[in-house]
Amino acid sequence: MKATPYLLSLPALILFAAIVIVPLGMTVALSFHDWGQYKGIEPVFILKNWREVFTDSYYGEMFWRTFRIALAVTVLTALFGAPEAYILNRMKSPWRGFFLLVILGPLLISVVARTLGWALLFGGQGGLVNKALMGAGLIDAPLPFMFTETGMIVALTHVMMPYMVLAVWAALQRLDPQIENAAVALGAGPVTVLRRIVLPQALPGILSGGIIVFTLAASAFATPAIIGGRRLKVASTLAYDEFLNTLNWPLGAVVAVLLLVALVAIVFGANRLIERRYAQVFG
Amino acid sequence: MAFLELETLSKAFGTHRAVDGLTLGVEKGEFVSLLGPSGCGKTTTLQMIAGFVEPSGGAIRLEGRDLLAVKPAKRGLGIVFQSYALFPHMTVAENVSFGLEMQRVAAAECTKRVGDTLELVGLGAFAGRYPRQLSGGQQQRVALARALVIRPQILLLDEPLSNLDAKLREEMQIELRQIQRTVGTTTILVTHDQGEAMALSDRIVVMNNGRAEQIGPPHEAYERPATPFVASFLGKTNLVNGKAVRPERISFAAVGLAGTVRTRIFQGNHWLYQVDTADGLLTVIRQNTGEEMPEEGATVHLSWLAP
């Protein structure tokens, strides 16, 4: 029976359709509906919301900011996470296990709690670090952190670090332990070994870690909501505000759909690029 | 004074003496094998020469100079690793030219030497391939080319053929010997395969528990083993009245030590017998000449010339 595999996967397909496809379709449909302060949502087909998002520079700036922050976070996690993974990979037990726990530990703590921690350290006059630095006379005014892009980037980098470390570590574990010795025997110094031998082989891991971090950072909600609040919005907090504060669901739906489409396009594009570049090398 | 000298070389890991006072002189152009079971210290010895492991005691001298004072990257030795350790993100040509780049050899000369060396190992047509696209035997040749192209003073081979299947291994043995004769590089091979060591080497060093049990030409070590360990490690052997007798030296005769054939195994070019005698169970190997041979359960007489 040819139909049997399809019948067997039917329950899963129904579940998938019910919880993913249907709400997604409804959100897309919603983005074409009309909305007014007093009349609420009208189920008609208009392009008003889409036109508004594409023409009003307010939205453009917000998407640009989201992209900028996600890119900065990706670059920073790569800069810190890749060396971290390399050092971790060279450690011997029991230290390796211990530091792996240190790196993964934050994943066990809620993102909200971790971000609030940053707010406690740097938030305004009362922040612990700001108070200490001012007390020591190193700075005159508190370091701006809350409601700044820098603050958001720092907090998100901290939150996303484990994903990058894990991705690079996985790539490094496939490395032949003799390969660095082989390069050394051929006359390569430590820097050359890192640059010419280790880094190129860690690159697929850095790129796949980059894709994970970029998508998570671009769609992150809790950290931008706490650090940026209403003053510094990104796409996800904007969609949230349109849905729950302005109650302009159709406009919120446009933002949500645009974010999704942009992320899917970026992930697919990056993935194809990586696969084409490394297919024959690493297979 | 030998070209390469190991003098009472030792390495201890904790309380375990991996290498225990090994002294060995290797002449220029010589092919020497370190042969022994796993854990005998042969690989540790090689790694000390390469510089990846620091000795606990003793000295290594190359042309009279202290090699231990030289950093591994400056020793200029060619090494072929058991896993080949090719750079997977570089093509065959890039792998081979890496060592020359490190020596800042001019581009034109570099290209020529890479091409020549790839021809030498029979991979001239594969320069643009990536290691993943090559068979195990071809990867092995790339590793050899990469080690030879820098014109090393010494070539170190760490179980280079153990990942190849039996037929390919035999072909590579012959080729490796020819290449080594052509370029004349002093070579040290680490192996646990006594056949490989005997086929390739000018001299073999039979190692056990970190010590050299015997150092000498393969033929001599086989014919006149210095210790029972050497006798048993270098092929099959029978101990008769405390003397080692090789199974292929025993023949069936009209008179001699009486016995009964317990098992008989046909192995193509020879027959392998186990014969119950008053001196114990003896192994006998007879060439397959097409003649009728004693069957299992038959009574036979064994004779051999005293070694």
Phi and psi at B111, nearest 5°, equal: -60, -45
Residue B225 CB neighbour total at 10 angstroms:
23
CB A77 within 8 A of CB A156: no
Amino acid at B176: L
Cβ separation B88–A201 shorter than 8 A = yes
Say which of A183, A185, A201 has its CB closest to residue B77.
A185
| Chain B residues touching residue A187 (CB < 8 angstroms) | 73-74, 76, 99, 102-103, 150
List all residues 6 or more positions away from B207 whose beta carbon is below 8 Å from its beta carbon. B22, B34, B35, B36, B40, B41, B42, B45, B213
Question: Looking at residues A147-160, what average pLDDT do you find?
Answer: 92
For residues A261 and A254, the answer to whether their CB atoms sit within 8 Å is no
Which residues of chain A does B50 touch, with a Cβ-Cβ cutoff of 8 Å? 181, 185
Q: Which pLDDT value is given to residue A277? A: 77
Parts of chain B with a pLDDT under 70: 306-307
Nearest to A227 by CA among A62, A71, A115: A115
- Please state the φ and ψ torsions of residue A46, each to the nearest 5 degrees: -135, 160
Output the pLDDT for position A8.
92
Q: Which amino acid is at B206?
A: V
- The pLDDT, as a whole number, for residue B274 is 92
Q: To the nearest whole percent, how much of chain A has pLDDT over 90?
A: 56
List CB contacts (< 8 A) between B76 and chain A: 187
Q: Give the pLDDT score at A246.
A: 86
What is the model's pLDDT at position A37?
82
Say if the Cβ atoms of A280 and B89 lie within 8 Å.
no
With CA atoms as reference, the chain B residue closest to A202 would be B89
Inter-chain CB proximity A185 and B72 less than 8 Å: yes
- Rounded to an integer, what distance in angstroms lies between the CA atom of residue B299 and that of residue B282? 14
Higher-pLDDT residue of A141 and B184 is: B184
Between residues 85 and 104 of chain B, which touch chain A (CB distance below 8 Å)? 85-89, 98-99, 102-103
Residue position matching structure tokens 């004693």: B294
pLDDT digit string (tens) for B3-39?
A: 999 999 999 998 999 999 999 999 999 999 999 999 8
Half-sphere exposure (CA, 13 Å, Cβ side) for B143?
28
Is residue B281 helix, strand or coil? strand
Amino acid at A70: A
Q: State residue A3's pLDDT score.
A: 86
pLDDT at A280: 62
**DSSP line for A202-237:** HHHHHHHHHHHHHHHHHT--HHHHHHTTTTS--HHH
Tokens of B290: 């097409």
Residue among A178, A189, A200 whose CB faces B85 most closely: A178
B33 touches B205 (CB < 8 A): yes
Distance CA B303, CA B295 (A): 18
Q: Which residue has the higher pLDDT, A281 or B97?
A: B97
Average pLDDT, chain A: 89
Of B83, B102, B132, which has the smallest distance from its Cβ to A188's Cβ?
Answer: B102
In DSSP notation, B81-104 reads -TT----TTS-HHHHHHHHHHHTT
- A176 with B74: Cβ contact below 8 A: no
Looking at residue B228, its pLDDT comes to 87
* Residue range A80-101, pLDDT digits in tens: 999 999 999 989 888 988 998 9
Q: Would you call A171 an interface residue with chain B, using a CB distance cutoff of 8 Å?
A: no
Residues on chain A touching B103 (C-beta within 8 angstroms) = 187
pLDDT tens string A18-76: 999 999 999 999 999 988 888 888 888 888 899 999 999 999 999 999 999 999 999 99
CB pair distance less than 8 Å for A281 and B89 = yes
Q: Pairing mode, if any, of strands B31-35 and B186-191?
A: parallel
Mean pLDDT, range A155-164, rounded to an integer: 93
Domains of chain A: residue spans and CATH:
60-282 (1.10.3720.10)
* Spatial separation of the C-alpha atoms in residues B267 and B120, rounded to whole Å: 36
Mutate to test the interface with B, among A186, A192, A193 (most CBs of B within 10 A): A186
Locus of tokens 């594969």? B126
- DSSP conformation class of B133: G
3 state SS of B9? strand
Contact list, B86 vs chain A (CB under 8 Å): 179, 182
Give the tens place of pLDDT for each residue, B191-217: 999 989 999 999 999 999 999 999 999
Q: At what angle do helices A199-218 and A249-282 cross, to 10 degrees?
A: 170
| Cβ–Cβ under 8 Å, residues A223 and A148 | no
Q: Which two tokens stand for residue B173?
A: 């043995």
- By three-state DSSP, how is residue B307 classified? coil
pLDDT score at A231 = 85
| pLDDT bucket at A198, cuts 50 / 70 / 90 | very high
Residue B89 and residue A201: Cβ atoms within 8 Å?
Answer: yes
The per-residue pLDDT for A283 is 54
User: Which run of H or E residues covers position B34?
Assistant: strand B31-35
Residue of chain B nearest A192, judged by CA positions = B102
Pairwise CA distance, residues B22 & B57, whole Å: 10
Cα(B61)–Cα(B33) distance, integer angstroms: 18
A197 neighbourhood in chain B, CB within 8 Å? 87
Distance CA(B25)–CA(A61), nearest Å, equals 75
Over 80: is that where the pLDDT of A278 sits? no
Q: How far apart are CA B9 and CA B19, in angstroms?
A: 7
* B290 lies within 8 A of chain A by CB: no
